[in-house]
């Protein structure tokens, strides 16, 4: 069962995002990006209040470098569609299980990003999750 509503066109958009943001991080890295996106829709807190759909999440201003810098042009492949379906179905993976932010710094991961604590690094991306006090929805089970 889906944790967010997703039509085929929404899954294709999400699959494109996974590829554009994390193709170099492998399939697991792409799943982590998907987790962050789905968490942003479910969280309804911080910078992500009012997001209800995959297109709103993807095209939120300044949310994803791939969208703002033009890397978001490649057609989705079936492998990314499978990954998109997994995260829409609610599969969560550490370190993005509760994360709302990630980024790829030129060096070490800062201890905080957008004033949120560092969780862990996967390959080149650093992941950050809110505290339960500031964003309890991201910790809710499905």
Looking up tokens 């992500």 gives 48
Closest CA to 38 of 49, 27, 52: 52
Task: Tell me whether residue 1 is in a domain.
Answer: no
Residue 120's pLDDT is: 98
Task: Tell me whether residue 3 is in a domain.
Answer: no
Task: Tell me whether residue 135 is in a domain.
Answer: yes
Give the domain extent around 62.
8-139
How many angstroms separate the most distant Cα atoms in the chain? 39
Task: Tell me whether residue 2 is in a domain.
Answer: no
Our count of domains for the chain comes to 1
Question: What are the pLDDT tens digits along the chain (142 aa)?
Answer: 789 999 999 999 999 999 999 999 999 999 999 999 999 999 999 899 999 999 999 999 989 888 888 777 888 999 999 999 999 999 999 999 999 999 999 999 999 998 899 999 999 999 999 998 889 989 987 6
Residue 80's pLDDT is: 97
The distance of Cα 94 from the centroid of its chain, to the nearest Å, equals: 12
- With beta carbons less than 8 A apart as the criterion, state whether 99 and 114 touch: no
Looking at residue 124, which CATH number applies to its domain? 1.10.10.2520
Q: Is-above-0.85 flag for pTM? A: yes
Residue 72's pLDDT is: 79
């Amino acid at each position: 069962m889906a944790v967010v509503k997703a039509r085929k066109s929404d899954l294709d958009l999400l699959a494109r995002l996974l590829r554009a943001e994390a193709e170099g991080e492998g399939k697991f890295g792409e799943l982590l990006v998907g987790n962050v996106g789905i968490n942003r829709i479910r969280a309804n807190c911080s910078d992500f209040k009012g997001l209800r759909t995959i297109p709103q999440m993807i095209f939120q201003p300044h949310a994803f470098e791939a969208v703002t810098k033009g890397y978001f042009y490649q057609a989705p492949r079936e492998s990314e569609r499978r990954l998109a379906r997994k995260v829409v179905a609610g599969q969560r993976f550490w370190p993005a299980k509760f994360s709302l932010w990630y980024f790829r710094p030129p060096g070490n991961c800062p201890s905080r990003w957008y004033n949120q604590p560092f969780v862990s690094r996967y390959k080149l991306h650093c992941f950050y999750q809110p505290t339960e006090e500031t964003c309890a929805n991201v910790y809710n089970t499905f």
